[in-house]
Amino acid sequence: MSQVVTYERQGQVGVISVNYPPVNALSHAVRSGLQDALKKGESDNDARVLLLVCEGRTFVAGADIREFGKPMQEPGLPDVIGKFESSTKTIVAAIHGTALGGGLELALGCDYRVALNSAKVGLPEVKLGLLPGAGGTQRLPRLTGAAKALEMITTGDFVDAVQAREYGIVDAVENGGDVKAVGLAYAEKVLGESKPKRPVRSLTDKVEADKNSSAFDEARAALRKRSPNLFAPFKCVDAVEAAFKLPFDEGMQRERELFMACMESPQRGGLVHAFFAEREVSKVPGLDKNTPVRDVNKVGIIGAGTMGGGIAMNFANVGIPVRLLEVKQEAIDRGLAVIRRNYENSAKKGRITTAQVEERMALIQPTLSYDDFADVDLVIEAVFEDMGIKKQIFGTLDKVCKPGAILASNTSTLDIDEIAESTSRPQDVVGMHFFSPANVMKLLENVRGAKTADDVKATVMTLAKRIKKVGVMVGNCHGFVGNRMLHQRGAEAVSLVNEGASPQQVDKVLTDLGYPMGQFAMSDLAGLDVGYRIRQERRKAGENIPESWTDKLAEQNRLGQKTQAGIYRYEEGSRKPIPDPEVDALIAQYRQEQGIESRAISDQEILERCMYVMINEGAKILEEGIATRSLEIDVIWIYGYGFPAYRGGPMFWADQVGLGEILARVKEFHKKTGGKQWEPSALLERLVAEGKKFGDL
């Protein structure tokens, strides 16, 4: 028998234990081990009931995702689960940690399930572009009915043990304790009460009751609204519906066909890449994973505007006290009012309790004085993008903060090293670039300066996890990774409009690709003054940036959503961008002034220019070591800019399009325009010459 699954008997209970760290995923070794252990248990005459339990931090967390795309090695998971279900012996599963995907499906192949109250269960396959493919879509509804099964399978969200009992997924929940002891006690109870074998496939009440339910059509309608571009969620509904319309074995067959269709879909490839990329970015190349971290128990934030307020909420949400500094009382009052409103909205939606609103507000203490920063462990400066002001602030922090405090800037573009030089402790200075709205967006782009100490880098990466963000460590350059690429896309989008496209045409191409919003709608959301101010700073620094129609809009105080007019116009209380003839006229006037003859531009040209300019810049970012792996760029774009995860991120997407194809177009655009942004990246050229992809780096 394989080492990863063992069989032993304790009294009258035959115990099958899985031990395959880190998460007991159902690799080939585990599947065959389970099958062998089951055989042992079945032939052990002294075992009157069997118990399935896992060692380590969790119950089985699913199929082994690393095996996807490789030839399947027998035994397949549905067969193993089928053998558990049809076993001559009654089997109890004892769940701790998370029983997910194939793990929950395995538990559903057992007759009874007992869970620790800290456990969670779920079928998150849809998040990987899949559906539960080992009977989950057929067995879960037999326990929960249609609505709950559809909800769990189409969202992939976990439910906790108590909810799982309410839904009928587990039979009992026990408070704490050792999972094996809990499982043994439950198995003894099954024996003592002579509970019969109870295969889930034989349960018919719920499927009979919901046979003609409207839940399937409702689920499809909801998906068409929520995620029309996704493939797997719709297949999930089809598979669950089969549980109600077909006999069990035919339903299993249907599930298999739909599962294979998802497996072959490119969206599965993108989502699995995104899953591993998210986990890989936390391992920073060159930074020892045992690097000690500094204690962060109190945080100071400078600026109570949209950014500073959002950042403060992240810390308060996890119980870390914040000192929020502003220069004027009115600004503090305004900032705190916005934070309170955000919390109250969350409470209205039932996401937090009203008591939590007060607890969190109490953790955010306002101040007008830097003296209150004497005891903070970390300061995050979140004032607007002006190097002079930032240097002044960091000079002050250097004087007031205790030795060892981390001094971070939320700058989205400016030079961290230049900021660090305004202190006597550049080793303590780092960038922590949050994305707007900072209390919502999951990305934290941590920027290392030339002198940033390793323990500071390790601390900000750990802190990202603590405040439930995905932290990515990047190097220092103008705009770092995300905004440096965004600026190229933004400039290209403006050029496309200058040449004849409309803002809404450009935006539609991007939303068709799967972005939640296009370039121009996003500029309106961020505020046109932000880009305007950055361009002015760069002009001041001597860069030749010609005036564009977007500058004119900013100068007319059309700043975007906040003034109800920007590149689009907005109705009172609505965020829906509406094309504005006034803007069209302004653009037409601009073209005339510049002597540009407007031409029809194809959607394909828009796609290529907006995306390839980013890919070329991304390649330069890799070449310069600003990002060390292309997956860092992918994660930044997925979590910071809403790049569709099912496309795996821009660099993964580029690998699918083909780097040869992209380079050829980059060269053509370079020849046509001579623009620096189209100078082909040396790395891109090398990869194409070597027949490699970004993913091979």
Cα-based distances in Å from 473 to 447, 482, 555, 644 = 6, 12, 36, 21
**120-122 and 49-54 as β-strands: parallel, antiparallel, unpaired?**
unpaired
Residue 171 CB, shortest distance to ligand 3HC, in Å, is: 22
Which residue, 25 or 407, is less far from ligand 3HC as judged by CB? 25
Residue 56 CB, shortest distance to ligand 3HC, in Å, is: 11
Name residue, tokens 């601009």. 590
Which residue, 271 or 501, is less far from ligand 3HC as judged by CB? 271
Which residue, 138 or 677, is less far from ligand 3HC as judged by CB? 138
Q: Tell which residue, 400, 405, 309, 325, has the closest CA to residue 360.
A: 309
Residue of 133, 141, 482, 531 that binds ligand 3HC (CB under 6 A) = 133
Residue at 231: amino acid letter: F
Residue 624 CB, shortest distance to ligand 3HC, in Å, is: 26
Rg (CA), the chain: 28
Which residue, 281 or 610, is less far from ligand 3HC as judged by CB? 281
Which residue, 18 or 311, is less far from ligand 3HC as judged by CB? 18
Which residue, 30 or 419, is less far from ligand 3HC as judged by CB? 30
How far apart (Å, rounded) are the C-alpha atoms in residues 181 and 415?
57
Note whether 128 binds ligand 3HC by CB under 6 A: yes
Note whether 65 binds ligand 3HC by CB under 6 A: yes
Which residue, 23 or 509, is less far from ligand 3HC as judged by CB? 23
Q: Where does this chain touch ligand 3HC (CB under 6 A) — which range of 61-69, 482-490, 610-618, 687-695?
A: 61-69
Residue of 1, 43, 66, 555 that binds ligand 3HC (CB under 6 A) = 66
Sheet holding 429-434, edge to edge: 364-367, 322-325, 299-302, 378-381, 406-409, 429-434, 443-447, 470-474
Residue of 52, 59, 64, 452 that binds ligand 3HC (CB under 6 A) = 64
Phi then psi for residue 27, to 5 deg, are -70, 175
Residue 231: count of CB within 10 angstroms of its CB: 17
N-term to C-term CA, the chain: 39
Q: Three-class SS string for 127-186?
A: HHCCCCCCCHHHHHHHHHCHHHHHHHHHHCCCEEHHHHHHHCCCCEEECCCCHHHHHHHH
Residue 134 CB, shortest distance to ligand 3HC, in Å, is: 4
**Buried/exposed code over 338-349 (b: 16+ C-beta within 10 A; e: otherwise):** bbbebbeebbee
Say if CB 130 and CB 156 are below 8 A apart: no
Note whether 171 binds ligand 3HC by CB under 6 A: no
Residue 63 CB, shortest distance to ligand 3HC, in Å, is: 3
Q: With CB under 6 A, what is the number of residues at the site for ligand 3HC? A: 25
Note whether 152 binds ligand 3HC by CB under 6 A: no
Residues 1-30: x where in contact with ligand 3HC by CB under 6 A, - otherwise, as a string:
---------------------xx-x-----
Residue 285 CB, shortest distance to ligand 3HC, in Å, is: 14
DSSP class of residue 563 equals G
Note whether 82 binds ligand 3HC by CB under 6 A: no
Residue 87 CB, shortest distance to ligand 3HC, in Å, is: 20
Residue of 18, 38, 54, 61 that binds ligand 3HC (CB under 6 A) = 61
Note whether 129 binds ligand 3HC by CB under 6 A: no
How far apart (Å, rounded) are the C-alpha atoms in residues 284 and 295?
20
Note whether 77 binds ligand 3HC by CB under 6 A: yes
Residue 22 CB, shortest distance to ligand 3HC, in Å, is: 4
Residue 693: count of CB within 10 angstroms of its CB: 17
Among residue numbers 98 through 127, which ones bind ligand 3HC (CB under 6 A)? 98, 100-102, 105, 124-125
Residue 57 CB, shortest distance to ligand 3HC, in Å, is: 7
**Buried/exposed code over 279-317 (b: 16+ C-beta within 10 A; e: otherwise):** ebbbebeeeeeebeebebebbbbbbbebbbbbbbbbbbb
How far apart (Å, rounded) are the C-alpha atoms in residues 489 and 696?
25
Note whether 313 binds ligand 3HC by CB under 6 A: no
Going by C-beta distance under 8 Å and a sequence separation of 6 or more, which residues neighbour residue 690? none
Note whether 134 binds ligand 3HC by CB under 6 A: yes
Which residue, 259 or 370, is less far from ligand 3HC as judged by CB? 259
**172-174 and 112-116 as β-strands: parallel, antiparallel, unpaired?**
parallel
How far apart (Å, rounded) are the C-alpha atoms in residues 334 and 314?
18
Q: Encoding tokens for residue 473?
A: 């460590």
Q: Which residues have a catalytic role annotated? A: 105, 125
Which residue, 126 or 611, is less far from ligand 3HC as judged by CB? 126
Note whether 399 binds ligand 3HC by CB under 6 A: no
Residue 680 CB, shortest distance to ligand 3HC, in Å, is: 34
Q: Which residues pair with 473 in a beta bridge?
A: 446
Which residue, 83 or 539, is less far from ligand 3HC as judged by CB? 83
Reported as type and span, the H/E element at residue 397 is helix 387-400
Note whether 279 binds ligand 3HC by CB under 6 A: yes
Which residue, 60 or 493, is less far from ligand 3HC as judged by CB? 60
CA 3 to chain centre: 35
Residue 226 CB, shortest distance to ligand 3HC, in Å, is: 20
Going by C-beta distance under 8 Å and a sequence separation of 6 or more, which residues neighbour residue 57? 22, 23, 97
Name the site residues for ligand 3HC (rule: CB under 6 A): 22-23, 25, 61-66, 77, 98, 100-102, 105, 124-125, 128, 130, 132-134, 136, 276, 279
